[in-house]
Every structure is written in structure tokens, then in C-alpha cells.
Structure 1
């Protein structure tokens, strides 16, 4: 199993999560950015598992007037299956 790990910003992560039909409740956009970690697990089958770890940035300062905290635990994992298209090497 090959694992790819990379980090998205808040806006890109929300777009990705929404595209996967994963609903995040009460997330308010603000000037500060939170980092999300996306782990891509590729398996040798007709589908691959996609695990998304949501980590709340505990160092965020409540300086923005419209700041609202995440209604999420510090670590939350979603998983789903997506079709895997094999490409010749």
C-alpha cells in the first residue's frame, strides 16, 4: 500500500470535502487559515480508501471579529470509497 500525505489550506479542504459530499456543520470562514491533512491510501483493488483527518489548529487566536471556533474535536477522521482508475506505468 502506497501512502501519500499532503496539506491543504482551509478553503481548498472545504472544497474537497464538499465535493466528497461530506458535510461540515458550523464552520465559519475567517481570515485565519487552518491546515488539513489528507491521507491517500492506494490499494491494489478496484477501489481505494480516502481518509481525511481534520485537525483543529489550537494555536488560532481569536482576533478576528467574526471568529467562530470549529464545532469539531481536535482530530476527526472520515473515510469513503472512490473508484480507482489504473494508469499504465
Structure 2
């Protein structure tokens, strides 16, 4: 049942909007020959964080930061259901995977 609900939720994702957001993020630390160099706590990564925080604010999200500078962004749900969580990072490494 959860798998079915996940597929239904995935069908609602606006691919063009998601691609646009990822393209915007890729501009922070973009390299002339392609790729991105946005190392942790660099100026490029801090600019990307500021962009992400502004996006979170526009979506009325709650933002938390821990002692290691990790961001936790929470968007309250509209129904009394279990939360959906995901995680990632926005820093990159040159020649990294």
C-alpha cells in the first residue's frame, strides 16, 4: 500500500520545475567545462545554502541547523499523516561522485 501511495505521489512531481530547481543549484560553483565545484563551507556552498533557505522560506518551511551546520528543512503537512523524509547534501567535490 505504501508503494502505491509513493507512485501516486511521484506522478504529481512537476518534472520541469524540479529540473529548473536543480539547474539553479548547479549554477553555484559551476565550472566552465562542465561540472560543479561547491565544497563544504566554501563561498559557493554558502551562496547555495542562502538560495536554498530563501526557497524554504518561500514555501513556509521551518528550518533548523545543528552544531555541524547541517540544515533540516521541514514543510508541515496538510493532513494528519505520517511524515515523509528525505536527505541529501548540496556540497560537491571536484572529480567526486
TM-score, normalized by the shorter chain, greater than 0.5: no
More helix by percentage: 2
What range is the shorter-chain TM-score in?
Answer: under 0.3
Higher relative contact order (CA 8 A, sep 6+): 1
TM-score, length-scaled by structure 1: 0.27
